Structure 1
Amino acid sequence: MKLNYQLAHQRLLADSADKKVLELLSATKGFQQPDINSLSAKQFLNIAKHLELTEASVRMALSRQTKQGKLNRDDGRYTLTRNQNPYVVPRFWLDIKYRCQPWKQDWLLVSFTDAKLSITVSRRLVRRMELLGLKFVPNLGWLRPNNLSELQQEVSYDLSNATQSNDFVCAILTSLDTNQQVRFQKLWPLAQLNQFYVDAEIYISEEMNRTESLPDDDILKRSFAIGRLLVEQLSIDPWLPEEMIDVNARERLIRTSTSYYQQIKPAWLNILDQD
């Protein structure tokens, strides 16, 4: 997927207020400023005015998400629910950066027993596998490079939750020959991943140049629309080892995105502080 504001804006308009409320809290928490780790209803409404959200839809979304346990409300301020289980929250790409470890050409393999899974559970399972960066190999199982710390624990935890069972086995494959290594690496669209890193970095750089001359309300609207699309793509990135992808392009995208996040921060703070 190529980043562009037209697509990002269409997606922003189409998605529900409930989703946007959760994403707004994630976005402001990312600024790493303690006083905006939680937001009041007034602050939500300040932002909502610039995102074409009605006051009624925001208030209803806050109420629904609180009742569903996704938000905490304390002294009139809302925060994302904290869960003590380590792998409940989907992995974010900046977190993964610190989990990379040298790849020893070994692979994590997940195989399932003959347990019967319902269609719903099977779909949930496939979705979880894809989010964890695993690919299916017929007659073998699900596979990915073993290049992240605590990967096996994370996969086991997620799959237990997805299937409500432990009818699977995780194993590490080592000492594979060159042909097998090449075969497995071709499971991922490597050229497509590399091109996304390059194109996204160029687009974010261009957006940084545009931001210099925009008013705060336009900065907030554009950055939220584009940022959520970027995070959506990066949150499903398989985070492959540098032996498989263009790690320099990926690192450039991370650095540029981090700089962009800092550039838009003053505009967001100004709008949050409006009376």
Structure 2
Amino acid sequence: MATAGKKLQTHLVAPTLITTLLSAFPEEEVSVQALLRAGVLFGVTERGIRVALGRLSAEKKIQNTSRGNYMSARRTGTVHRAIVDWRPAEIRIVPWDRSWLCMLGAAVSRGERTQLNRHEQALRFRGFRELLPSFWVRPANLRAGLGVRDELCQLGLHPHAHLMVASEFEKGLDTKARKLWKPEHLEKKYASNVKMLETSMQNLNKLTAEDGLVETLTCGRAVIRDIVLDPLLPQELVDVELRRSMIEHMKTYDDIGHKLWRSFLFS
């Protein structure tokens, strides 16, 4: 498998495999038999697939549309939308005017571990990082501006946290803020993903049909995850052309993977 130095997980648990495949074809019914065949590719047993189908249906994450056929449920949550609609990620940002979105955390005690984790995960999901204790920031280049609070609340932001815009930080604090995301690590990840996708596309015709299916799904999932979780920093902080190259390569790769998986699932 072409990983270009990136270790990929080729064994997926049944719920992840099912939701990944159904989300890839949101307008179409996928048969249980097709999902069982997909399970074989990833080492998932028939029982594992059937149990997961029952649980996912009960949780309304998928829907049983007809006997033996399933579709992805129409969910509107922020995370689900971001995962399914990753292609136009960059339309969510605008040129940076050097100001900062700042979130002053509520008084969440360390003892309230679950609430604290959800609060911090929500902020990280939209690219915020902790600059000072309970004070999280990100460049104010999100198109939603202060409206991003609505998304953050859906994700678990503490209701008493306060969102604001700071036009300027003192020099030392500004320098510290710009380093929070370790831009060099992001750029290394972008380049690594581009190389992995290029290598995989070059090698797909050398693989068996089954290995090609596993390759496209595992590589694709890994890169899409990086796109969804990317903080979308402005060009002043990171090489946006390299990020854009990663996204464009993933679009091409996704088209290839869709074609292979469509043939497998619906033939």
Per the normalisation by structure 2, the TM-score is 0.87
1:130-141 to structure 2, matched below 5 A, reads 130-139=124-133, 141=135
Q: Number of paired residues? A: 262
**Aligned pair in 2 of structure 1 residues 150, 18: CA closer, same or farther (>3 Å)?**
same
Per the normalisation by structure 1, the TM-score is 0.85
Amino acid at match of 2:147: Q
The alignment-based identity, stated in percent, is 21
User: Is 1:22 paired with 2:19?
Assistant: yes
1:171-210 to structure 2, matched below 5 A, reads 171-176=164-169, 179-210=172-203
**Aligned pair in 2 of structure 1 residues 198, 135: CA closer, same or farther (>3 Å)?**
same
Q: Distance in 2 between matches of 1:152 and 1:90?
A: 19
Amino acid at match of 1:18: P
Determine which of 232, 244, 251 is the counterpart of 1:258: 251
- CA displacement at 1:253 relative to structure 2: 1.2
Q: Distance in 1 between matches of 2:166 and 2:81?
A: 26
- 2:229 is matched with 236
- CA displacement at 1:140 relative to structure 2: 6.2
Which region of structure 1 is more displaced relative to structure 2, 248-257 or 91-100? 91-100
Unaligned runs of 5+ in 2: none
**Aligned pair in 2 of structure 1 residues 41, 4: CA closer, same or farther (>3 Å)?**
farther
- 2:153 is matched with 159
Amino acid at match of 1:252: S
The 8 Å contact of residues 3 and 200 in structure 2, kept in 1 or not, is answered as no
User: Is 1:43 paired with 2:34?
Assistant: yes
SS state of the match for residue 7, structure 1? coil
Unaligned runs of 5+ in 1: none
Amino acid at match of 1:56: R
User: Is 1:82 paired with 2:74?
Assistant: yes
- CA displacement at 1:177 relative to structure 2: 5.4
Q: Distance in 2 between matches of 1:5 and 1:191?
A: 17
The 8 Å contact of residues 183 and 238 in structure 2, kept in 1 or not, is answered as yes
- CA displacement at 1:5 relative to structure 2: 8.4
1:109-128 to structure 2, matched below 5 A, reads 109-114=102-107, 116=109, 118-128=112-122
Amino acid at match of 2:22: L
SS state of the match for residue 89, structure 1? helix
Deviation string, structure 1 residues 72-131 (Cα, Å, up to 9, x no partner): 22224322222346x352624423222121111111101123355711111222222222
Q: Distance in 2 between matches of 1:6 and 1:168?
A: 37
Deviation string, structure 1 residues 125-156 (Cα, Å, up to 9, x no partner): 22222222111122561100111212533334
Q: Which has the higher contact order (CA 8 A, sep 6+)?
A: 1
**Aligned pair in 2 of structure 1 residues 172, 195: CA closer, same or farther (>3 Å)?**
same
**Aligned pair in 2 of structure 1 residues 68, 265: CA closer, same or farther (>3 Å)?**
closer
User: Is 1:12 paired with 2:5?
Assistant: no
Amino acid at match of 1:59: R
The 8 Å contact of residues 224 and 250 in structure 2, kept in 1 or not, is answered as no
Q: Distance in 1 between matches of 2:37 and 2:190?
A: 33
Amino acid at match of 1:141: F
- CA displacement at 1:55 relative to structure 2: 1.7
The 8 Å contact of residues 62 and 71 in structure 2, kept in 1 or not, is answered as yes
Root-mean-square deviation (CA), in Å?
2.5
Q: Distance in 2 between matches of 1:123 and 1:88?
A: 16
